[in-house]
Amino acid sequence: MLGSDRFHRNVGVEFVEFHGDGATMRLRLRDRHLDADGTVHPGVTFTLADSALGHGISRALGRPCTTAEMKVNYLAPVSGGILTARSRIVRAGRGLVVARAAVRCGSEPVAEALATFAILR
Amino acid sequence: MMDPVDNTLDQQDAMLASLQSTFMTAPFNRLVGIEFGEYHEDGGVTLCLPVEEHHQNGAGVAHGGVMLTLADAAISFGIARTVGLRCTTVEIKINYLRPVTGGVLEARSHIVRAGRRLVIARAEVNCRGKQVAEALATFAVLR
């Protein structure tokens, strides 16, 4: 599943580790990740958080899942460095999982995500 | 002598062309493959994205980040065009309605409310005649 995700590979998302309640993924920022204003495109940060959430949830539950809804608050603009996203399951139900992810650049909080995932049967 | 009205229209066209070029050449928009669609009279913009294999996730459908990137770009472009000031995404939320296996994604933005500090806007993402996602965003006006 991790290796077959073409969009992650295309963007450059890397797996770091699984935790009991989530996962950590990272992304080394390059020029190709920038938006028109020279800072990281919101879609990049979103994609990294979504990947940490999706992989963390499916690993923790042992089931494939898909994003049903996700919201990201952007806390600070970044234009370089390494972004790290750490996801945590807030509540796992039978059909839906609520989870959040924190995105940092070094020690600086960059974004906070809250998502609803649907468990696939 | 040049007609002042035509002159103003020319300037507006030039500014819009410059804005379009800025958005379409932004590195990540190019990496993802976003294409310009059309302008709408209400200030919104439609941007398109032909779905390719490199947009897929491990399940073989378009990654949620692809739809989000397209929706954010359409909203951001619509706001820049309408408000005429530099803006940045402070919050965006997206609901995924259907999985996308192929076709052309079309994101159409709408400005819901433009205040002095914040702009609320949304975008619907359609593919093959069906809505596949709905995004709602808060942008901050930069001064």
pLDDT digits (tens, 9 = 90+) for A3-54: 578 999 999 999 999 999 999 999 999 999 999 999 999 999 999 999 999 9
Q: CA–CA separation, B79 vs B72, rounded Å?
A: 10
The b/e string for B113-132 (b: 16+ C-beta within 10 A; e otherwise) is ebeeeebbbbbbbbbeeeeb
Residue from B18, B22, B68, B125 whose CB has the most chain A CBs within 10 Å, to mutate: B68
At B116, is the secondary structure helix, strand, or coil?
A: coil
Q: Which residue of A has its CA nearest to B71?
A: A43
Torsion angle of C-alpha atoms A60, A61, A62, A67, degrees rounded to 10: -100
CB A3 within 8 A of CB A64: no
Which pair of tokens denotes residue B13? 């066209």
Please report residues of B whose CB lies closer than 8 A to that of A66.
59, 96, 99
Separation in Å, CA B126 to CA A42, B10, B48, B67: 20, 33, 10, 10
Cα A30 from Cα A12, distance rounded (Å): 9
pLDDT at B8: 78
Encode chain B (143 residues) as per-residue pLDDT tens digits: 555 556 677 888 888 999 999 999 999 999 999 999 999 999 999 999 999 999 999 888 999 999 999 999 999 999 999 987 789 999 999 999 999 999 999 999 999 999 999 999 999 999 999 999 999 999 999 87
d(CA A35, CA B131): 26
- Does A10 contact B54 at a Cβ distance shorter than 8 Å? yes
- ipTM, 2 dp: 0.91
* Residues on chain B touching A31 (C-beta within 8 angstroms): 27
Taking the C-alpha atoms of residue A48 and residue A24, their distance in angstroms, rounded to an integer, is 10
Contact (Cβ atoms closer than 8 angstroms) between residue B125 and residue B71? yes
Question: Burial, A112: exposed, middle or buried (Cβ in 10 Å; 0-12, 13-18, 19+)?
Answer: middle
CA-based nearest residue to B112, from B101, B103, B120: B120
Kindly determine whether residue A69 and residue B93, on different chains, have CB atoms separated by under 8 Å: yes
Question: What CA–CA distance (Å, rounded) separates B82 from B111?
Answer: 8
Residue B31 has its nearest CB partner, among A8, A32, A46, at: A32
- How far is the C-alpha of A85 from the C-alpha of A105, rounded, in Å? 9
SS3 category, B123: strand
A7–chain B Cβ distance below 8 A for any pair: yes
Residues B123, B108 contacting (CB under 8 angstroms): yes
Q: Rounded to 5 degrees, what are φ and ψ at B3? A: -70, 125
